[in-house]
Amino acid sequence: MNQFTTVHDVTDIKQLLKDALTLKENPYSLQDLGKNKTLGLVFLNPSLRTRLSTQKAALNLGMNVMVMNMDKEGWALETQDGVVMNGSTVEHIREAAAVMGQYCDILGLRSFPKLINREEDYNEDFFSKFIKYCGVPVVSLESATRHPLQSLADLITIKETWKGEGKPKVVLAWAPHIKALPQAVPNSFAEWMCKAQEDGMVDFTIAQPKGYELNEDFTPGASITHDLNEALNGADYIYVKNWSSYKEYGKVLTYPDGWMLNNDKLKGTNDAKVMHCLPVRRDLELSSEILDGPNSLVIHEAGNRLWAAQAVLKQMLEKL
Ligand code: CP
């Protein structure tokens, strides 16, 4: 794998899952693979899980790791070409990315959307320029539109916990929030689940109130409904997540009651397991009774971030 920014960078999803679960069994089996190789992790936004799991994954593979909190410790970056830099920006992404590429064999990048200009965010302007100028393989730590390491960890979690007959019914369920959040996690989850559905691994449904429809490019083949209870009927997995509107870009629209998942809503499901990428706002986005109860997979899922990152770095190191 030369870079990891979407599910489309993965040639064989089943092999990637197998690698992740093999590494989970034996985390230190490939300590020589990353010897004398350096991973640089560049954050323009906060992180707990992505930062720690990716560092640990690299250490397990014998790599050196450097972390750059660009938003707090780096120079203010200019991303536009042809501007006279007489304002607040100090360094152009052309030089900054190229210099980081001199020090690292693989770079990881986190850069959230601004949620102001849809075209700019969905063009992945910052990510594309960083990849172009750094000159080394890049792993996404979450971009404006996708969070593939999270989605891979989610798929690993479903694969290893599913003990039922046939394919599980997986539901992505919109949940309330007070802030405008990016569509990156639900886009990415939908994209990975649609691919898993194509490969015969899951049946996939999305439930959201009117106005919160995701960009259709990320949802090919998904069943889509505005009725949460209909979607939850017979569900085996419920992936809870808030996102802001794609159509009325970046807006929190008026949202209806009854979209926060609680134990009562689980009654029509197949004793569904509940997932969330975290961080989660308790009793706003997801009820405490679910988070603290037997149906919650959120900690297990966060644990699998490590094996997702390790499997991806393994395949990238093999291509260096
Ligand atoms: N789920 C996730 O990406 O968590 P962090 O933002 O804490 O890395």
**164 and 99 in one domain?**
no
**272 and 258 in one domain?**
yes
Burial-class residue 202 by CB neighbours within 10 Å (0-12, 13-18, 19+). buried
Here the tokens at position 120 are 């700019």
Number of helical (H) and strand (E) elements in the chain, helices listed first: 11, 11
Residues of the chain with pLDDT > 70: what percent?
A: 100
pTM (whole model) above 0.95: yes
| Ligand 1 atom 4 nearest Cα | 49
* Span 281-315, pLDDT tens digits: 999 999 999 999 999 999 999 999 999 999 999 99
**132 and 56 in one domain?**
yes
- Ligand 1 centroid to Cα of residue 254, in Å, is 26
**199 and 189 in one domain?**
yes
| Ligand 1 atom 1 nearest Cα | 277
Q: Average pLDDT, whole number, for the chain?
A: 97
- Ligand 1 centroid to Cα of residue 170, in Å, is 21
**112 and 206 in one domain?**
no
**178 and 263 in one domain?**
yes
Q: Is the pLDDT of residue 80 over 80?
A: yes
Distance CA 136, CA 316 (A): 11
Specify the CATH number for the domain of residue 44. Answer: 3.40.50.1370
User: CA nearest 136: which of 112, 176, 104?
Assistant: 104
In the block, tokens 């998942």 appear at 261
Ligand 1 pocket check: which of 277, 280, 304 to mutate, most ligand atoms within 8 Å of Cβ? 277
* Span 161-217, pLDDT tens digits: 999 999 999 999 999 999 999 999 999 999 999 999 999 999 999 999 999 999 999
- Ligand 1 centroid to Cα of residue 174, in Å, is 18
**168 and 75 in one domain?**
no
Domain extent for 265? 148-302
Residue 45's pLDDT band (boundaries 50, 70, 90)? very high
pLDDT score of 129: 97
| Ligand 1 atom 3 nearest Cα | 50
- The number of folded domains in the chain is 2
Q: Is the pLDDT of residue 128 over 80?
A: yes
**40 and 127 in one domain?**
yes
**168 and 83 in one domain?**
no
User: CA nearest 92: which of 131, 133, 127?
Assistant: 133
- Ligand 1 centroid to Cα of residue 27, in Å, is 22
**117 and 156 in one domain?**
no
Burial-class residue 40 by CB neighbours within 10 Å (0-12, 13-18, 19+). buried
Residue 66's pLDDT band (boundaries 50, 70, 90)? very high
Quick one: DSSP state of residue 129? Answer: H
User: CA nearest 170: which of 145, 183, 151, 184?
Assistant: 151
pLDDT score of 259: 96
**175 and 131 in one domain?**
no
Distance CA 50, CA 55 (A): 8
